[in-house]
Structure 1
């Protein structure tokens, strides 16, 4: 099975593809971010980087796929499409500087004419943008284009809703979640360097107290170190303690981990303390994030900063979800 990878990132699609099709062949991939390329090339040496998709000529594309291409996959930038973009006043959608790269993907698909496509993007985009993507893809294929929402929470601890466009139907089979918090978290003694400082936690507390109907705030736990906090009740008994959207080991699922500007989404309330009202506010360790995305431990450990690894993973796909989609494809069609 031969594939062309676009907006490749660190290779989440590839990790999944090669689990289902061990002998799959990459005819080329397109990525421009140096850190992403560094990680990708470590795991997939020998794959040809085609570089900037906007600079690829028709002749170059045809040369790459001259021996055939079964599938094109990738997730184009959601920068101008997500709900966060709307909150920030960006309503450019598919006309935006980054998200308009969708049309470069369409250009490549039109030239290559692959048998199958898998395209991923953010679930929070407006319905008008969803429809435009579907209609534009439908113009390229005789078979129906299917838009499917899949939540990574069906497979692991991270809640992460994403849309997938395919020209084959993704079977709505029973999805088994085989990942629990204990499969992700490092021992508590290993995570102390990631505890939030007093200053950061108190800053978050101030945000809490400004919110309506919040009843619990955190204060330093006097019997332990400065990074341990306890919940304290206030007057309104109907609400619960809340900082910002955050992950909490006391809940079944983690919040969606994001690549940049994550704020509270990337903060973990670690409740592994003998007192149920005491917790450690902290950041995830990179290897814990890798596990939430179902990558092997140390997948992004290439001498990069913690922030760089967070960004790469937060902008990636959940491997287990892609594996599920590819397994569906394998079960319903015949690939040589």
Structure 2
């Protein structure tokens, strides 16, 4: 089977950077140097809230993409709302990848504010399904915030259960794993859920007997894509079946009202049977710290904080307990623990958000090793935290937008680590 890919909600190309091991780009023309042979046949990137499509322009420049003015050409649809793209122009492919946007699952929002899969951007999951139905895609690799497994707050696990049921109805098996990039040696403590789905009539599906729990356990701890790429401590891994099966529901509409389940950090669905379990990572290598990804430059005065900014950031990162009004009525105490200020350079960075570099509790502030002054991280340091080549986003976008792009991106090192086993799986078909 050819290693052909389409990338949805592509951003600045994180999946492509990871799969094709992009570590640099040609300084003369700005085009990425791709070191592997994944054939990206099509991508789609469209941001409805902005006139200037910075992410799309960055992807187009780095991967030397030519637009088209012909509606029958797939490249005409690269920067259009994916829901408007005619299915017939999307090329056939063996792998669909995407970090589908679910604004409602943002780690920056409170659980009580979630709308779940019915939220404004959550509906884009159904665009993935629309394409899978039409193209009969063999393999799917998706990324999302780990809160997806617990959404919505009043009906934990409903949304992910609906997703699994939808995949099952299309004859897919699914494995998922919440991966903290720092726990496997990378420069950011960023937890994301990765979802790998495959058609149940493929050779890969024959590696496991879903009717034998020991075989299922052996697969998910030794043989699966995630197991071979990101080992787990087997002493802490005891796979258990999930009793609340979606098979008891006629369809996903019926599930919406009452379905709930406790999905743990890892799991697998095989022909509708679900097993789930927490795990401890098994990694004995070196960790990558903030200190190791800093730019070696003693002329970074533009990033230094003023005294007023230092005071504001100290207050934002300090311990607090505030009385607030609940949207549904009444009052409650909102509390936050203190955060390190400045950030510890000998630890991996915290999860980077789209608000990076602003006066925000989540923003990284470090003591510069050269000047010993407090400063924000640079745009290049933000790119390094996500595993992108230096100056990847230095196209025509503003500094603020460059930080935004990195806050929206995935840790490309995760995809790079998955690539070897993923390649074997697809080639074997």
TM-score, with length taken from structure 1:
0.79
- Contact 2:365-2:374 at 8 Å conserved across structures: yes
Q: 2:130 aligns with which of 71, 87, 107?
A: 107
Number of the residue aligned with 1:191: 300
Q: Distance in 2 between matches of 1:75 and 1:104?
A: 13
**Equivalences for residues 83-162 of structure 1 within 5 A:** 83-86=107-110, 89-125=112-148, 126=150, 127-142=157-172, 144-153=173-182, 154-162=184-192
**Equivalences for residues 1-336 of structure 1 within 5 A:** 1-19=3-21, 22-33=36-47, 34-46=53-65, 48=75, 49-50=77-78, 51-61=80-90, 64-65=91-92, 69-86=93-110, 89-125=112-148, 126=150, 127-142=157-172, 144-153=173-182, 154-167=184-197, 169=224, 170-171=226-227, 172-173=230-231, 175=283, 176-177=285-286, 179-187=288-296, 189-207=298-316, 211=320, 244=339, 248-260=343-355, 263-270=360-367, 272=369, 280-334=373-427
Secondary structure of the residue aligned to 1:264 is coil
- Contact 1:246-1:255 at 8 Å conserved across structures: no
Give the deviation of 1:333 after TM superposition: 4.4
Change (3 A) 1:209 1:243: closer
Q: Distance in 2 between matches of 1:14 and 1:71?
A: 12
- Contact 2:298-2:370 at 8 Å conserved across structures: no
Give the deviation of 1:259 after TM superposition: 1.3
Change (3 A) 1:188 1:27: closer
Structure 1 gap segments, 5+ residues each: 213-241
How many residues are aligned here?
296
Give the deviation of 1:180 after TM superposition: 3.3
Structure 2 gap segments, 5+ residues each: 22-33, 48-52, 67-74, 151-156, 199-223, 232-281, 322-336
Give the deviation of 1:271 after TM superposition: 6.1
Give the deviation of 1:286 after TM superposition: 0.3
- Contact 2:314-2:341 at 8 Å conserved across structures: no
Q: Residues 131-167 of structure 1: CA distance to partner in whole angstroms, max 9, x if unpaired?
A: 222332232234x201111111123121000001102
Q: Residues 177-227 of structure 1: CA distance to partner in whole angstroms, max 9, x if unpaired?
A: 563334311236233211111111112334466636xxxxxxxxxxxxxxx
Superposed CA RMSD in Å reads 2.7
Secondary structure of the residue aligned to 1:166 is strand
Q: Distance in 1 between matches of 2:364 and 2:347?
A: 15
Change (3 A) 1:207 1:4: closer
Secondary structure of the residue aligned to 1:124 is helix
Secondary structure of the residue aligned to 2:103 is coil
Q: Distance in 2 between matches of 1:311 and 1:246?
A: 22
Secondary structure of the residue aligned to 2:96 is strand
Give the deviation of 1:71 after TM superposition: 0.3
Give the deviation of 1:25 after TM superposition: 1.6
Number of the residue aligned with 1:215: none
Q: Distance in 2 between matches of 1:166 and 1:273?
A: 44
Give the deviation of 1:82 after TM superposition: 2.7
Q: Distance in 2 between matches of 1:289 and 1:205?
A: 21
Q: Distance in 1 between matches of 2:319 and 2:35?
A: 52
